[in-house]
Amino acid sequence: MAAPKDYYKILEVSENADAAAIKSAYRKLARKYHPDVSGKASEGRFKEINEAYEVLSNPPKRAEYDQLRRNFANRKARSQGPGYQRVSHDWDGFNVEDFGSIFEDLFSGPGQSTRTQQRTRSAPEEAVTVTLEQVMTGTTIPLTVSQVKPCPVCHGTDPDCARCGGLGQVIEPQRFDVKIPPGIEDGAVLRVGEHARLRVQVASNPRFSRQHNDLVGRVMVSVPVAATGGEISVAPLVGDHITVKIPAHTNQGKVLRLRGMGLPDRTTGKRGDLLLEVTLRFPEPFVADDDRLYREISALHQETGGDIHAPR
């Protein structure tokens, strides 16, 4: 089993180096081995420097990396001592998903990099964006994550197993069909498999905004319909058009509440309401007879001004 890469040696710092020393060393080496400065031959070294800095500059990752090195050293010492027995690798506290491809590279010998262009997602938390329509109905999202599993070859019994490098555990991609329940909230986190999590983000909608389980939108109503009352056809978030009754004498900004037309509650399934704020518009085209009628109406209502209100 190959030893983990020595990131301290790669950055030419001691194991006790603080964050400032690591950053300084990285900048110095990155400038020295940048391909634009040293040529294409230095690409491998430059990549290795960045890989080391990615771990050592991140305190949680550095702590896990140090623990991994200590575990490896302890295992090696035990394997060389008298009366050696297989000792399983101590993974307690070691979150392998946080390392992702870094863990893969730690045990790669020369010319044995396990990275591929189609890298399996290995972060402990993935993110997915769903539409407001999908929040209404629920949906299923395919997701592939890396899972830590017992070695299928040696099952943790062979310290020289090539498949797991003697660790007794391997990282394997696993596909899940994640069910997004109706009514999911923006920022909600779902558990996927044994370790991974899926954070759900809800995309903005051009027609509706969300207030908990209520949907809020604006609806255009012609002035004649608002004045005398009538019916209009509107398209809800999902489904066929519905008919909405407009009461007579409806003013600009009036909110029409359509009960049970909002989003379902994630727990109870009870749906919220659809709130439509009325925006008045004049009929088009505006013809001469329209102008005459509105002048007659204006003559009947001698209004000299209006009240001032703060914006809604």
CATH number for region 1-114: 1.10.287.110
Tell me if the domain spanning 125-203 has CATH number 1.10.3720.10: no
Cα 179 to Cα 138: distance, rounded to the nearest angstrom? 8
Query: What are the residue ranges of CATH 1.10.287.110 in the chain?
Result: 1-114
Instruction: For residues 237-259, give the mean pLDDT.
Output: 94
Instruction: For residues 47-75, give the mean pLDDT.
Output: 81
Confidence of residue 306 (pLDDT cuts 50, 70, 90): low
Is 237 exposed, middle or buried (CB count within 10 Å of its CB: 0-12, 13-18, 19+)? buried
Q: φ, ψ for residue 69 (rounded to 5)?
A: -65, -40
Q: Tell if the pTM clears 0.75, that is, is over it.
A: no
Q: Does residue 302 or residue 212 have the better pLDDT?
A: 212
Query: Has residue 213 got a pLDDT over 70?
Result: yes
Instruction: For residues 52-59, give the mean pLDDT.
Output: 87
- Assign domain 209-300 to its CATH superfamily: Urease metallochaperone UreE, N-terminal domain (2.60.260.20)
Query: What are the residue ranges of CATH 2.60.260.20 in the chain?
Result: 125-203, 209-300
pLDDT tens by residue, 220-245 = 999 999 999 999 999 999 999 999 99
Cβ neighbour number for residue 134 with a 10 Å cutoff = 19
Confidence of residue 162 (pLDDT cuts 50, 70, 90): confident
Cα 83 to Cα 171: distance, rounded to the nearest angstrom? 30
| Residues whose CB is less than 8 angstroms from the CB of residue 32 and which lie 6 or more positions away in sequence, other chains included | 38
Query: Has residue 168 got a pLDDT over 70?
Result: yes
| Residues whose CB is less than 8 angstroms from the CB of residue 8 and which lie 6 or more positions away in sequence, other chains included | 14, 15, 17, 52, 56
Select the highest-mean-pLDDT range: 33-47, 90-104, 167-181, 266-280.
Answer: 266-280
Give yes or no for a contact between 97 and 146, defined as CB atoms under 8 angstroms apart. yes
